[in-house]
Amino acid sequence: MEDRHGLRSTLITSQLPIDQWHKAIGDATLADAILDRLLHNSHKIKLKGESMRKAMSKIADVEDLGNK
């Protein structure tokens, strides 16, 4: 991240809300450094709706029934 900071675009995806990252990382100094670089000049997109895994699982189940 240090090498890319300010030079390249970086896409990060997570199911863990940003406000829980400090706890997940465990080290407050390291978490501050990571979040400072990631969130400065960032664009955050929150997605809503049902999980695509759940939707695709339902489709796969129906397809499996057709093969039996």
Q: Global pTM?
A: 0.52
Total domains, the chain? 1
pLDDT tens-digit readout, 18-68: 889 899 999 989 988 888 888 888 888 888 887 777 777 877 766 666 665
Q: Which letter does DSSP use for residue 16 in this model? A: S
**Is 49 inside a domain boundary?**
yes
Q: Which domain holds residue 41?
A: 18-66
Nearest to 11 by CA among 20, 1, 24: 1
- Indicate whether 1 pLDDT > 60: yes
Would you state the pLDDT for residue 64?
A: 65
Would you state the pLDDT for residue 61?
A: 66
**Is 55 inside a domain boundary?**
yes
Answer with the residue of higher pLDDT: 5 or 21. Answer: 21
